[in-house]
Amino acid sequence: AGLTKAGALLTEKVVAKVASKAEVAAAANAGNAAHNAASYAGLKLDLKTTEAANDLVESLRKTGQLPESYVNKAQAMDNGWKPGKALNNTSPGKQIGGDIFENSNNILPSSPGRVWREADIGIDNTMSRSNQAGTRLLYSDDGLLYITTDHYETATSIGKWK
């Protein structure tokens, strides 16, 4: 009877250990699933932003400049635009782009003499800019292209325009 009791105790410990490992594995898998879902959502946004930048990249490649539908912030303000407000109110059909991006948070590669510029991507110019996603194209004078989908927290390389 003592052996049976010891065997039962051992079995109970093994079952508890296996159950504990199963719980840890289940939690890890749930964490991985959440991580994978978040990664998928991020990659999907990167793809959408990159696709939205196609016309800008093509214009840079052909002319070295953004499309005519882009005005820099000074031009927009000359037309009466106020930062954070909807651009369409004062510059119908236009987007903001072409201003120098300082790269003060060093999210982009630096090189002596390199100048970075920024352009809105996928912004609805009839809505207040302060209520929109921070999706931008960042492009350098030596041909590098990056996008940011989180208003300059991170940047993803999408190739070169030169």
Most confident of 2-6, 63-67, 146-150: 63-67
List the CATH number of the domain containing 143.
3.10.450.30
* Buried/exposed 47-85: b ≥16 CB within 10 Å, e otherwise: ebbbebbeebbebbeeeeebeeebbbeeebeeeebeeee
Range of the domain at 134: 53-160
In a domain, 10, yes or no: no
Average pLDDT over residues 128-140: 83
In a domain, 102, yes or no: yes
In a domain, 23, yes or no: no
In a domain, 24, yes or no: no
In a domain, 146, yes or no: yes
In a domain, 141, yes or no: yes
- Number of compact structural domains in the chain: 1
CA–CA distance, 27 with 22 (Å, rounded to integer)? 8
Catalytic residue (choose from 35, 51, 151, 153): 151
Average pLDDT over residues 106-119: 96
pLDDT of residue 47: 78
Average pLDDT over residues 32-61: 79
In a domain, 34, yes or no: no
In a domain, 25, yes or no: no
Whether the per-residue pLDDT at 56 is higher than 60: the answer is: yes
- Residue 85 CB partners (closer than 8 Å, separation 6+): 128, 129
Identify whether 118 is a catalytic site residue: yes
